[in-house]
Structure 1
Amino acid sequence: MSSREYDVLVVGGGPAGYYAGLITAVKGLKTLLVEEKHIGGTCLNKSCVPLATLLKYLSTIDLLNKLSQEDTGISVDKLSMNAEKVFNYVRTNVVNVLSESMRKTLEDLGVEVLKNKAVLVNESTAKVGDSYIRFKKAIIATGLKWSSGDGVRPCTEFIDLKEPPNKVLIIGCNPFGLSIASTYSMLSSEVIVVDGASEVLKDFDKEVVNYLMLALAERGVEVMTNTVVSGIVVKQGVKEVRLMRGNEVLTVGVDEVFNASVSNPRLDVLGGLNVKLRNGYVWVDDSLRTSVGNVYAAGDVTGISTYAHSAIVQGVVAGVNVSNGNMRFTCRVTPRYTFTYPEVFSVGLTEDEARSLGYEVLIARQSLTSNALVRASMSSGMIKVVVDSKYGGVLGVHGVGYGISEVVNEASITVTLESTSDTVINTLLAHPTLGEVLRDALLQVLKI
């Protein structure tokens, strides 16, 4: 058995593990981070970053086409795109470069980074590859694994295809599934999205979701709720998918099927460690400590949230606490958003949630077409703010439109700090910027 010993073992190099490793290194602890695949995890390598990058590229093409069609003086006659080269460029020049940069940052801070598989043998020993190491404390940040099956790819493989499929079916009307659907539709694929639930993006405000659904329909995306996949048969390279919607049975032929609905936490890291689970995920208290006192967990593996921004903060909290700190993860306000075209987000309470909790609310709506930058990009959308009519507190902010995700952090801070509408209105916001739309909407409920 190796005599290598560490103050902290971090298993997993996604957002949670990366930030946990940063914190423990800054705190002066001898840290080993073990990642089986690539630093950055699913978000960087297979979902958020590739989707956001492709949205940027594809929406730029869309804008150039619009400018060419209008009498703007801008003409683009030979604009073309090779999807295979674009996908490869995103992987090589965005994803891989960022992943290597993250690795270098960790190593520059003194973190030892190993590409290998780690399994906890007990509360102080782990097997890493063929060797054993000892640790004083550990942080589990192994994330999720998306399910696949006969004829079904995990949604994380959407970026791995050489070219977009002519026709694709995506299982899951959630942010990941709809973002992939939107991306493929902009690449001229025929797209069907199915979900057994009756609602699309149920945690989002209905008004902005309805706007998004109309936009996706205009691009030819067919969304089928209350619909489940009951079987897939491959015939001559075509996947015949059997769908059930109530008593109705449908069959559609597609080139690819992606699952964005079913995922499970990666728990093989636990090995011989008897850690308490909750609904199949690693149980943690508000300090992110597991039922084993010197072992913490952060990110998707806890089941708290599947958003990377939640994983980042969990990683920070876990890193602080294994360094003898005393930080709590509250998760009071979690921004929800998609990388669709147009983008959509919800922060805080939706209008329905606020009313169901007994609030008397004022609703402020503002069209994005009144914003200079939105007009310049030849796009549209709206922002909606839910305000407590009694005290003026901003309870929720919801938006839809291209680039509207640039407002989500401003909205999150506003709701988290329980800011009033008057406070936001009296804050000096740079002009012209997209972030001004929050203030402009709140002018409608200004109390004189």
Structure 2
Amino acid sequence: MSNAYDVIIIGSGPGGYVTAIRAAQLGLKTAIVEREHLGGICLNWGCIPTKALLRSAEILDHANHAKSYGLTLNGTMTADVKDVVARSRGVSARLNGGVAFLMKKNKIDVIWGEAKLTKPGEVVVGKMTKPVVEPQNPVPKGVKGEGTYTAKHIIVATGARPRALPGIEPDGKLIWTYFEAMKPDFMPKSLVVMGSGAIGIEFASFYRSMGVDVTVVELMANIMPVEDVEISTFARKQLEKRGLKIITEAKVSKVEKGANSITAHVETKDGKVQTITADRLISAVGVQGNIENLGLETLGVKTDRGCIVIDGYGKTNVPGLYAIGDVAGPPMLAHKAEHEGVICIEKIAGLPNVHPMDKAKIPGCTYCNPQVASVGLTEAKAKEQGRDIRVGRYSFAANGKAIALGEDQGMIKTIFDKKTGELIGAHMVGAEVTELIQGFVVAMNLETTEEELMHTIFPHPTLSEMMKESVLDAYGRVLNA
């Protein structure tokens, strides 16, 4: 078997494996190097298995409120942590196998081992080191491994890992990252979550549904700091109604470890310190790119704040070397990585009309209860830019489908440029908004104005009707409020 390729991709997460498939479709001889498990963190330890956990939590929440739907459950509904985790791991294992099938179907060579860049156009693959976490499926026998491989184009897609704060480093027992939080061998009675970004809030929501006493500590003034303040404020109230304790403008300054518990010292902005004792602490203070031990320094690859610097097409400052996904900087989202990879490989292949990615049109989703989703500018950002704007809002409480579902707490907010009518931002909180947001993403990509949205017929009764009502409200024409 030849070790020469048109394209070698280092890392098989969503960005890596999707890029490999697109490369193969374009007729490029392609290989992908993986050191742990196909599908990367997202499929094995992130996006997918957490959604499986949250689905179990959602079912439990509904069951606990069965009476409000006119239903009586015979017996007590309880969560078996081993079965909940087993279902989540099974979902990941199934999809991991699916990626292996796609590699075989598209005739992409999978090279197992640790990749290192030794010179332009060359990758040396060493032995597989002990993985951070055990792979879901074993590495197949008789596949490529150690050796020297060459390619005209090499794409780094090595992803990211949990960021650790000095003095509060995860230990796998008392201080967890998302790895341990995703597969607990017991259900703690109490938990401190450090950080309220998507990862922190999703785990806080899951564990609260499981009956755990959860306290979230956030450094910024609002939870989910990247979201529109009005939306995050609404979400906070709903989370607190569910029993979550939330402390903002505070930091965990120190953690004392007991035999089977932790005591977190929480310092607020006025310098006051309170202590919270809990069974476990989840560190969810962000992620950092996996740029170490790749040989980037040897090649003189430019990096910034722990990420590889690229142009709009994934090119680094070294000819023939590219980077995509989390390792290439924020937003660190799977769908951003996939799209970035497709742009990169289509540019390499010389396709016409390949455009750089517009990061302002990348949606963000948080799958807590209630869900949060957004795209584009927040109201504050729009005003910072000096934009003259119109803002529309619509409440779930006025929507027939939401009321019928028993999910009438939520809102949709739209932001338009007053001069042009361009939709520049959309923000949602409530049931299923992570499925609704794509409608506004499509609209923004088509450079839709309020006029097109007002003339769009939304089906009734649906949650999506609220999207149109929010648009109408921005222009003083709301019909059902």
> Which category of TM-score, normalised to the shorter sequence, fits these structures?
over 0.9
1:139 is aligned to 2:155: yes
- Structure 2 CA distance for aligned equivalents of residues 305 and 314 of structure 1: 11
CA 1:35–1:358: 2 relative to 1, 3 Å: same
Q: What amino acid is aligned across from residue 434 of structure 1 in structure 2?
A: L
Q: What amino acid is aligned across from residue 38 of structure 1 in structure 2?
A: H
Instruction: Report sequence identity in percent.
Output: 28
Q: Which moved more, 1:205-214 or 1:383-392?
A: 383-392
- Structure 1 CA distance for aligned equivalents of residues 457 and 112 of structure 2: 47
1:124 is aligned to 2:117: no
Q: Which moved more, 1:342-351 or 1:359-368?
A: 359-368
CA contact under 8 A between 1:406 and 1:434: conserved in structure 2? Answer: no
Match of 1:426 in 2: 455
Match of 2:139 in 1: none
Q: Which moved more, 1:309-318 or 1:431-440?
A: 431-440
CA contact under 8 A between 1:332 and 1:416: conserved in structure 2? Answer: no
Q: What amino acid is aligned across from residue 233 of structure 1 in structure 2?
A: E
Q: 1:37-76 maps to which residues of 2 (within 5 A)?
A: 37-66=36-65, 68-70=66-68, 72=70, 74-76=71-73
Q: What amino acid is aligned across from residue 412 of structure 1 in structure 2?
A: V
TM-score by length of 1: 0.93
Match of 2:94 in 1: 97
Q: 1:41-440 maps to which residues of 2 (within 5 A)?
A: 41-66=40-65, 68-70=66-68, 72=70, 74-78=71-75, 79-92=77-90, 94-129=91-126, 130-148=146-164, 149=169, 150=171, 151-246=174-269, 247-268=271-292, 270-271=294-295, 272-325=298-351, 327=354, 328-380=356-408, 381-440=410-469
Larger RCO of the pair (alpha carbons < 8 Å, separation 6+): 1
Aligned length: 444
State the superposition RMSD in angstroms: 2.0
Q: What amino acid is aligned across from residue 47 of structure 2 in structure 1?
A: C
- Structure 2 CA distance for aligned equivalents of residues 191 and 233 of structure 1: 18
Secondary structure class of the residue paired with 2:85: helix
* CA displacement at 1:39 relative to structure 2: 1.8
- Structure 2 CA distance for aligned equivalents of residues 415 and 329 of structure 1: 13
Q: Which moved more, 1:403-412 or 1:115-124?
A: 115-124
* CA displacement at 1:64 relative to structure 2: 3.5
CA contact under 8 A between 1:3 and 1:134: conserved in structure 2? Answer: no
Which digits, 9 at most, give the CA deviation of each residue in 1:228-267, with x for residues without a partner? 2222222221112222224212222122122111432111
Which digits, 9 at most, give the CA deviation of each residue in 1:5-34, with x for residues without a partner? 111111111111011101111111111111
CA contact under 8 A between 2:155 and 2:321: conserved in structure 1? Answer: yes
Secondary structure class of the residue paired with 2:361: coil
Q: What amino acid is aligned across from residue 316 of structure 1 in structure 2?
A: V
- Structure 2 CA distance for aligned equivalents of residues 308 and 140 of structure 1: 15
- Structure 2 CA distance for aligned equivalents of residues 431 and 96 of structure 1: 38
Q: What amino acid is aligned across from residue 13 of structure 2 in structure 1?
A: G
Q: What amino acid is aligned across from residue 88 of structure 2 in structure 1?
A: V
CA contact under 8 A between 1:36 and 1:117: conserved in structure 2? Answer: yes
* CA displacement at 1:45 relative to structure 2: 1.6
- Structure 1 CA distance for aligned equivalents of residues 254 and 438 of structure 2: 41
CA 1:301–1:184: 2 relative to 1, 3 Å: same
CA contact under 8 A between 1:46 and 1:157: conserved in structure 2? Answer: no
CA contact under 8 A between 2:362 and 2:375: conserved in structure 1? Answer: yes
- Structure 2 CA distance for aligned equivalents of residues 330 and 158 of structure 1: 33
CA 1:57–1:386: 2 relative to 1, 3 Å: same
CA contact under 8 A between 1:18 and 1:315: conserved in structure 2? Answer: no
